Amino acid sequence: MIKIYHNPRCRKSREGLEVLEQSGQDFEIVKYLEDIPTEEELKTLIGYLGITPEELVRKNEAIWKEQYKGKSLSDDEIITAMVENPKLIERPIIVKDKKAVIGRPSEKINILL
């Protein structure tokens, strides 16, 4: 089953959702600002993406700039920051069969389809 971590207010996330809808495949929508991933879920997603926790952070968010930018943070501390402030999580994230992509640009989603 395909899963999209989605923020309906984000244009890029809506574009990602549209790609999935047009694919005709079944998928599940996770509104991650409401259904916040746990630290373990984020660690799993980061593993599927093959990136570091910091690469999943939206560094232009005010929360990041005000509270975390310039600090020396461990991977666990970065993951905790994303759980406490889910707006920091890059979006959309599309997951299929233990593989994932960040759908920016939305064409990247086709890698999984």
What is the four-CA torsion angle of 96, 102, 104, 105, rounded to 10 degrees?
A: -30
**At residue 5, what are phi and psi to the nearest 5 degrees?**
-85, 110
The Cα–Cα gap between 14 and 10 comes to 6
Q: Mapping DSSP to helix (H, G, I), strand (E, B) and coil, where does residue 44 land?
A: helix
**Catalytic positions, please?**
10
Determine the Cα–Cα distance for residues 14 and 46; give it in Å rounded to an integer: 21
